[in-house]
């Protein structure tokens, strides 16, 4: 478990990674607004945590997208794209916040070589999909739609926040059968995410606790519903979890919770790869798990 100084350092790194410098001013505004109009402060906080700091698409990423079969969807007032490669049972690859489908390009060709159809998603406000905001309930609904359209879902590979969203979506979908779930740098719970991200932007703990109580009004379920461990036991999935001990975004306690709640996880720790887990070795372990 991180000591207090280490936790502060991790939060500062995460602040730099996900948010613009002015966001601390926003945190102060939320704290003051909470005193006069609490629900408005809650909505503003969730909007800030739904903001996507979009990455510019590089030429090699665009070439990757161009080599796939693009399909565009509309969801409520949002648009998003998927790109598919190959034929066979589906392997869905789900990115995290501020990321995009092309993060999986080193995986896709090898998945296709194994005889599967690889499908990458650019969630709204990510990659090639337009927009600036994406909430977790919306991401779950989008993924549920993708899962429901699968002909023969074989595996889901997810990174970071994509792990929770894909787990809840799969458990809500018509595909509730055994498949392979591969989690890279996964948060277990939205409660941890909410606390960590809110703390990073300077929102006071008492305000965060009030937001937690308000979540059912916003998302339709208690905050505890949005966790991987709550859904795994009903999914009958084969599970792999890879986590790096230098990950400053996902606390190690999240990994311990997952391992303690579901004993059948194939757990692979790494050191020195950080949150993104960009590594040929990691990709090889994921592919071995898929084909095994």
Query: Residue 268: which H helix or E strand, with range?
Result: strand 265-270
**Dist. CA 8–CA 4, nearest whole Å:** 6
Number of compact structural domains in the chain? 1
> What is the predicted pLDDT for the residue at 199?
85
Domain of residue 226 covers 4-291
What stretches of 88-134 show up as alpha helix (H) in DSSP?
A: 105-113
Among the listed ranges 22-26, 103-107, 255-259, 286-290, which one has the minimum average pLDDT value? 22-26
Q: Per-residue pLDDT tens for 36-90?
A: 999 999 999 999 889 887 878 999 999 999 999 999 999 888 999 999 999 999 9
| Domain harbouring 56, CATH code | 3.40.50.1820
Among the listed ranges 20-29, 125-134, 260-269, 280-289, which one has the minimum average pLDDT value? 20-29
> Please, what is the angle between helix 4-18 and helix 190-200, to 10°?
80
What stretches of 50-161 show up as alpha helix (H) in DSSP?
A: 59-66, 105-113, 136-149
Residues contacting 285, CB < 8 A, separation 6+: 240, 242, 268
């Amino acid at each position: 478990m991180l000591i207090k100084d280490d936790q502060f350092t991790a939060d500062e790194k995460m602040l730099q990674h996900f948010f613009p410098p002015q966001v601390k001013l926003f945190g102060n505004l939320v704290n003051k607004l909470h005193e006069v109009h609490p629900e408005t402060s809650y909505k503003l906080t969730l909007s800030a945590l739904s903001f996507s700091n979009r990455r510019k698409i590089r030429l090699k990423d665009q070439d990757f997208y161009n080599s796939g079969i693009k399909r565009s969807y509309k969801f409520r007032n949002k648009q998003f794209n998927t790109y598919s490669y190959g034929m066979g049972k589906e392997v869905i690859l789900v990115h995290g916040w501020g990321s995009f489908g092309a993060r999986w390009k080193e995986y896709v060709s090898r998945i296709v070589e194994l005889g599967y159809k690889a499908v990458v998603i650019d969630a709204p406000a990510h990659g090639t999909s337009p927009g600036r905001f994406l909430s977790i309930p919306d991401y779950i609904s989008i993924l549920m739609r993708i899962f429901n359209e699968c002909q023969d879902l074989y595996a889901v590979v997810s990174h970071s926040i994509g792990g929770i969203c894909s787990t809840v979506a799969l458990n809500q979908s018509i595909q509730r059968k055994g498949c392979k779930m591969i989690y890279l740098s996964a948060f277990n719970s939205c409660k941890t995410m909410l606390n960590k991200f809110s703390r990073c932007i300077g929102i006071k703990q008492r305000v965060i606790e009030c937001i937690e109580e308000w979540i059912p009004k916003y998302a339709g379920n208690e905050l505890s519903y949005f966790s991987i461990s709550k859904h795994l036991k009903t999914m009958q999935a084969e599970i792999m979890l890879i986590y790096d001990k230098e990950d400053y975004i996902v606390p190690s306690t999240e990994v311990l919770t997952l391992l303690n709640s579901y004993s059948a996880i194939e757990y692979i720790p790494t050191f020195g790869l950080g949150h993104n887990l960009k590594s040929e070795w990691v990709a090889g372990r994921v592919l071995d798990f898929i084909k095994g």
